[in-house]
Amino acid sequence: MELFDQYLRKINYLRFSVTDRCDLRCVYCMKEKMTFLPKKEILTLEEIERLCENFIDLGVTKIRLTGGEPLVRQNIIDLIRKLNLKKSVSNLKEITLTTNGTLLSDYASDLKKNGIERINVSLDTVNNKKYNQITRFGNLSKVINGIENAIKNNIKVKINTVAIKKFNENELINLIEWTNSKKIDITFIEVMPMEETDIPRYLQFIPLDKVFNKINKIYNFKLSTHKTGGPAKYYESEKLSNRIGFITPLSNNFCANCNRVRISATGRMYMCLGQNDYVDFRKFLRNDFSNEYIKEKIKFALKIKPERHDFTIKNNSKNYMKRFMNVTGG
């Protein structure tokens, strides 16, 4: 079976936020003083597994676990283990996750044992002082040790870096060289207009087409055929052993090829990251609705998936999403 939305885009990728909690407070993601949801509002691991099963039955082949920070979720390895077992008996081909890397030293071995072959690590600087600044209290050496531990466990690591005006815009080449030395790919991402944090979005935003033009003078990029199932467009250079990706939701959107939906930790299905509409699956999971009913609601949700997102970042604009990044994991 295969899933399609109203624009005949094939939907085979599910991003599932398993928690809204995080052990960092990155300035583009959330406020310094965050109020997290009561735990009773968060889906149980059993509810997450059941909802994933319904998506798999309908044709989803890839699941990415996000947060918040997914590795702070208690017993997360149990969920990954159960999902991994489904790969041999269902449509599911891959389970992966996006992490800030703080807990990788503790979890890399268990992740590998339970079917995680690759991960994305969010890292916006390799400068100790600046890392502490952007995460508000993070420890860079702990993250780098975690990345190295993941590599030792034969997990393919990719770095995700949000390009931020007046913070790391002059460090992007250093990040390319650092990842190249580690033989890992890196993807640059534009700041998105999610809920306002303590810093206005328009003060953080850099269009990546300008970034590309600048660094292309150094590396003379050629477009790569490499695909990961997400929205990144990858480039290669004879001067590098790794690939450089760009995710450009504002300067050059990729909506025409969108293949994904997102579920929040409370069970809300967001058909589009750049819209506020959602379908609430928690009430179905907690009120004894059948799997057949849940599948029909998934199909209904895809019929109202919009053609494109509605992102703009302007001075004093209030046209942003009414949720923080930690709700859907970006």
pLDDT digits (tens, 9 = 90+) for 206-221: 889 989 999 999 999 9
Model pLDDT for residues 6-32, shown as the tens digit of each residue: 999 999 999 999 999 999 988 777 777
Domain 13-157+257-328 - what CATH class? alpha beta
pLDDT of residue 31: 72
Three-class secondary structure of residue 256 per DSSP:
helix
Name the residue type at position 179.
T
Position 321 pLDDT exceeds 60:
no
**CA 125, CA 27: separation in Å to the nearest integer?**
13
* DSSP per residue, 148-164: HHHHHTT-EEEEEEEE-
Q: Would you mind telling me the total number of residues written for the chain in this entry?
A: 330
Q: What percent of the chain has pLDDT over 70?
A: 88
> Is residue 228 over pLDDT 90?
no
Residue range 240-281, pLDDT digits in tens: 999 999 988 766 676 888 899 999 999 999 988 767 789 999
Average pLDDT of the residues in 89-107: 96
pTM over 0.85, yes/no? yes
Q: Looking at beta carbons, which pairs linking 39-47 to residues 24 or more positions away fall under 8 Å? A: 41/266, 41/282, 42/265, 42/266, 43/18, 43/265, 43/266, 43/267, 43/282, 43/285, 45/18, 45/73, 45/75, 45/76, 45/78, 45/79, 47/267, 47/282, 47/285, 47/286
